[in-house]
Structure 1
Amino acid sequence: MANIKDVAKKAGVSVTTVSRVINNRGYIGKSTRQKVEQAMEDINYSPNQIARALQRSQSFIIGVIVPDSQHPFFAELIKNMELYAYQRNYKLMLCNSLDEAEKEANYMSMLRENRVDGIIMCSQTLDVEEYKKASLPIVSFDRILSSQIPYVSSDNFHGGTLATEHLIEQGCRKLLHLSGPLNLEVLPNRRADAFKLTCMKHDIPYRIVEGEFSREAFSYYPEEFIRGKIDGSLHEYDGVFCSNDLIAYALYMYAVKRGIRVPEDLKIIGYDYNSFTKILQTPRLTTINQPAGRLGKKLCSTLINMIEDKESDAVSNSIIDVELIKGETT
């Protein structure tokens, strides 16, 4: 069975250089890396993952806790995290919290017991102090947990501004925002902040209805989705900014069933532009694109860099830009 010394001899480099290529550590020139990788292929050498883990006191496993892996946005986010982790020789251990605090806390304990190297936290039900107790490298998605825990997020405030400005530019004069839950201090709430400030800037009557991010939760909203009271008088909303695409499509179906024409009578804009949105062409949804590919890669790369550079105390937060995707619903 071939070993690392055989690879070094075949490539004409040192064992240390081969080790750096295998573990993706330190600077290795492109031609040297290619020689080592070709030598590994030629002699059919495969690194012993268990030996690597024992040698470096690592499991090469990353824990990922999401609210629901079936949600199109999180499914795409997970896919891109897995692709990048694979490139860095890591595996993912996936946990669905289903927005249950007890389940999320149990998963945190389970991941520590399984000696994962770090956790990407996409679920957001626990108090901040619970995350600090983890004693593991953690990267948060869409939530500021502490000054010692980095976060990655799309530019939610800019996205909210783009969506609201677009509705106003399309002639809307009575606006509604269907937000996610506002009881937690999470960064997606900046979409509601931007909506409110933009409406005030343009002197546009508005209302914010707090809800959930899932499509199922839409059934709990009342008829006042379309008709409701603003400042004590009855108005008919002509534009709605939804905090994700599933809610936007549910609202579209709700309107069609009641004979409300979209976009002639009601303009709708979503947020995400996930794979589900890209596939569904009737109607093509106007939405805000928060790029799951870039977000997934940044989450994974930030955590792996923390794992492999234990001496660094620097906390690197990342905000990924968003863009408006014009469809047929505005």
Structure 2
Amino acid sequence: MASIKDVAKEAGVSVTTVSRVMNNRGYLSKEVRKKVEKAIEVLDYHPNQIARALQKNQSFFIGIIVPDSNHPFFSDLIKYVEISANEQNYKLLICNSLEDPQKEAHYISMLRQNQVDGIIMCSHTMNIESYQKVDLPIVSFDRFIAAHIPCVGSDNYRGGELATEHLIQLGCKRLLHISGPLDLDVLSNRRRDAFVITCMKHGLDYDIIEGAHNKLTFDYFWSFITENLSPDKLRTYDGIFCSNDIAAYALFIYAEQQGIRVPEQLRIIGYDYHSFTRMLQNPKLTTIMQPSERIGKTLTNTLIQMIEHKSGELINNITVDVTLIQGDTT
């Protein structure tokens, strides 16, 4: 089996240069890169990952804990995290907490036992103190945990503001927000804050229906909406902002079944614009896009930067811009 020395000899460069090409480190000319890549292909060279891990005292595995990988947003996010990790020679271990604190704690313990180099936390059912005790690099999605744990999230406040202002500009006078659970200090609840403040600024009446828990399936949101919004109550609103696209789609189906025309009688906005939303054609949801590709890459790059100590300074929290996507429901 070919070694890195064989690749260097074939390409006519040093072993260090081959290593830099493989790890995408430092400046190298296109000609040198092509020579090394051709040598790797000719020799069918595969780096010894075990030896590399022992040399650097790393496993080159990172973990990601999500509420449910079956949810379209987290499915998209995992894809982009894996792509970004693979580009930097890391492998990904995926854990589904299913919003169970005990399962989440078990997965954190399992990842530590398997000596992952770091964890991306997208599930937040445990108390903050539990995360602070984990002696591994951690990056959080959508929740501030501690000063030494960077947080990456979309601009949830601006997203709620964009959605509410859009409904008001279209003439809506009686607004409703269907939120997630408000008992956790997660950034997604800033959508609710923006909704309330924007309605108050315009002097409009509003209501909020809080999610009992953040289940992520269509069946859950269908049951939740039909149990909390009678047909008569639904007819009192002319604009509804939902905390996610699955809830918005369930609401659209329910409204249509009750003979309420969307958007003529009721305007609906969601939040996410993930693969499920992009697949929908009837209707095309009006929604707030939080870019899962950029978030996934930012989470991964931030974690690897911490793992490899590329920065001696504390890595700041990162907020990703959101965009209003106009569809058929407003």
Taking structure 2 as the reference length, the TM-score comes to: 0.94
Q: How does 1:147-296 map to 2 (within 5 A)?
A: 147-211=147-211, 212=214, 214=216, 215-218=218-221, 219-221=223-225, 222-224=227-229, 228=233, 236-296=236-296
AA at the equivalent of 2:293: G
Q: Give the direction of change, closer, same or farther, for the CA distance of 1:157–1:213 in structure 2 (3 Å limit).
A: farther
1-structure distance, mates of 2:181, 2:196: 16
Structure-1 residue corresponding to 2:32: 32
Matched, 1:43 2:43: yes
Partners of 1:35 and 1:132 lie apart in 2 by 46
Q: Which runs of 5 or more structure 1 residues have no equivalent in the other structure?
A: 230-234
Q: What's the offset of the Cα at 1:288?
A: 0.5
Cα deviation, 1:91-124, whole Å, max 9, x if unaligned, reads 1100000011000000000000000010000001
Deviation for aligned residue 1:259: 1.0
> 1:126-185 deviations in whole A, cap 9, x for unaligned?
111111111101000001111100011011011000000001111110000001111010
Q: Where does residue 130 of structure 1 map in the other structure?
A: 130
Partner of 2:173, secondary structure, is coil
In 1, Cα distance between the equivalents of 2:279 and 2:229? 30
Percent identity of equivalent pairs: 61
1:1-45 per-residue CA deviation (whole Å, 9 max, x = no partner) reads 211111112222211222222233444444433322222112211
Kept in 2: contact 1:141–1:151 (CA 8 A): yes
Across the two proteins, how many residue pairs are aligned to each other? 325
Per-residue deviation at 1:225? 6.2
The verdict on how the C-alpha distance between 1:329 and 1:223 changes in structure 2, with shifts beyond 3 A counting, is: same
Q: Structure 1 residue 213: deviation in Å?
A: 5.0
Q: Which range moved further: 20-29 or 184-193?
A: 20-29
Change (3 A) 1:186 1:252: same
Higher mean C-alpha deviation, range 52-61 or range 214-223: 214-223
RMSD of aligned C-alpha atoms? Answer: 1.7
Structure 2: 5+ residue stretches without partners: none
Runs (4+) off by over 6 Å: none
Instruction: Give the equivalent residue in structure 2 for 1:232.
Output: none
Distance 1:87 1:303 in 2: 14
CA distance in 2, matches of 1:28, 1:185: 46
What's the CA shift string for 1:193-230, capped at 9, x where partnerless? 0000100111110111110352333213435366559x
Q: Higher mean Cα deviation, 144-153 or 17-26?
A: 17-26
Q: State the Cα deviation string for residues 207-263 of structure 1 (Å, max 9, x = none).
A: 11110352333213435366559xxxxx81110000100000000111111111111
Q: Residue type of the partner of 2:267?
A: K
Q: Please give the alpha-carbon distance, in whole angstroms, between the structure 1 residues aligned to 2:202 and 2:270.
A: 21
Q: Are positions 1:324 and 2:290 aligned together?
A: no
The answer as to whether partners of 1:60 and 1:90 remain within 8 angstroms in 2 is yes
Q: TM-score, normalised by structure 1?
A: 0.94
**Could you tell me which residue of structure 2 aligns to residue 81 of structure 1?**
81
More off after superposition, 85-94 vs 23-32: 23-32
Contact 1:152 1:318 in 2 (8 A): yes
3-state SS of paired residue (1:236): coil
